[in-house]
Structures are given as C-alpha cells and as structure tokens.
Amino acid sequence: MYAQHSDPPHNAAMRPQQSLVAIVYANDAYPQSTFEGIVEDCRRRGLRLAGVLQHPVCSDAAGHCDVVLEELTTGLRTDLFEDRGPGASGCRLDEAALAEVNGRVARSLDAAPDLLILNKFGKVEAEGRGLLDLVGMAIDRGIPVVIGVPIRNLEPWRRFAGGMSVELSRDPSEIGGWLNRTFPVAIAQSPEPAAC
C-alpha cells in the first residue's frame, strides 16, 4: 500500500528527460495492458492523473476495431472513429471528437495533476496535430508526461522531443523504476506485533 507523497510532485530540479517518457512499442501492437497498469499503479500511489486511456472496441467478426478514449479525470469516453458504413475507405478518424477530447484534457491541466498520460503519438500527432499540444502545455507547467509511441513514429517523436525524452519499453520494471524515481513514495509499514 502506498502513502501519498509528501514532497511537491513537480520538482524544478527534475531533469527534462525524466519528465517526458515515451513507451515504445511494436507497430500495430498497442500495449493496452501496459497503460492500464500505469494508470492502476499511479492511482494506488495516490497520484492525480490527467489525459486519456485508449480502449479498443471490436464490432465485427473480421476483428475490425475502433478506439474509444477514456478521460482519466472524468471517466468520460469518446468514440474516435466515424462510422461511414460498409465499403468506406480512407481515414475514419473523427478529428472533431479528437479536438473535443483535447480541449477537455487541456482544461484538466488547470487542476495541476501529477502526471499526464496520453495513449499515443500517432499519425496525426506526427503531423503536428491531435493531442500533441497537450505535451507542450504539460511540460511548460512542470507536469511529467507518459505517451505511447509506435516504432513507425519514433523518428518524428524524437524530432518533436528534441532529445528531452527517455524511451522505455513496455517492461513493467522499467516503467515502475521511472515512477519510483519521479514520484518517490513512502511504503506503509506494517506495525510491529505487540510483545507478549
């Protein structure tokens, strides 16, 4: 069981690369359980979270999946893809829905959360749009950021981050180590048994 951290979560002396973390993963293999584990671990530590958690929604026998984003501050879920009917081609991303999520998460940063979690640096973010401005907003406010980055977007991510991020695998021990360094917490001690 973790206790609330007693130090201010945003240490001005924190090196920039410690506050911007890319979870790098294989293309088309989004690490759902990794991000769910990060959220669970952070909540167990008593950290206040902002951002989004991605959930797949698979609706047909062919295994076609869409994405729903869950806002971590409110639990509100937003469908990210438009249903254009059978035979539709091209990108189905609902950019208006993404912009709406972006606005809500941006407003949640006003409450000074301990950590911003973003599902991924995808194609839209690699083009300089999507949820990308949230990263800059958070870093400007001293809020650490964790974001998923598929290998195909690793070079655009590196150009965007300008050498200021640390890249981790989906290995829980790597991620846990970063969380321990960034958010040191006191682990509750069991009371000593009474002497007989």
Tell me the average confidence (pLDDT) per consecutive run of 10 residues in the chain, 196 residues long.
35 56 94 95 95 81 71 92 56 76 95 96 89 93 96 96 93 93 61 48
CATH of the domain at 98: 3.40.50.300
Amino acid at 175: I
In angstroms, the CA 22 to CA 121 distance is 9
**What is the maximal distance between C-alpha atoms in the chain?**
77
Task: State the pTM of this model.
Answer: 0.80
188 domain residue, yes or no: no
Residue with structure tokens 């206040």?
48
Confidence at residue 88, expressed as pLDDT on a 0 to 100 scale: 52
Note whether residue 125 is domain-resident. Answer: yes
- pLDDT value for 138: 96
Long-range contacts of 41-46 (CB under 8 A, 24+ apart): 41/175, 41/176, 41/179, 42/114, 42/115, 42/117, 42/179, 42/183, 44/1, 44/2, 45/2, 45/5, 45/179, 45/183, 45/185, 46/2, 46/3, 46/4, 46/5, 46/185
Please state, in angstroms and rounded to a whole number, the distance separating the CA atoms of residues 30 and 24.
9
DSSP E strands in the chain: the ranges are 20-25, 49-58, 65-71, 77-79, 115-118, 145-150, 166-168
Number of domains in the chain: 1
pLDDT of residue 8: 35
State the Rg of the chain over Cα.
Answer: 18
Identify whether 74 is part of a domain. Answer: yes
Establish if 47 belongs to a structural domain.
yes
Q: What distance in Å separates the CA atoms of residue 151 and residue 83, rounded to the nearest whole number?
A: 28
**Residue 108 structural domain:** 16-82+92-182
- 187 in a structural domain: no
In the chain, the N- to C-terminal Cα span, in Å, equals: 27
| In-domain check, residue 194 | no
- At 57 the pLDDT is 73
Angle, vertex CA 157, rays to CA 81 and CA 68, nearest 5: 20
Specify the pLDDT at position 140: 94
Query: Any bridge partners for residue 71, and if so which?
Result: 52
In a domain, 196, yes or no: no
**Residue 188 pLDDT:** 37
> Does residue 152 lie within any of the structural domains?
yes
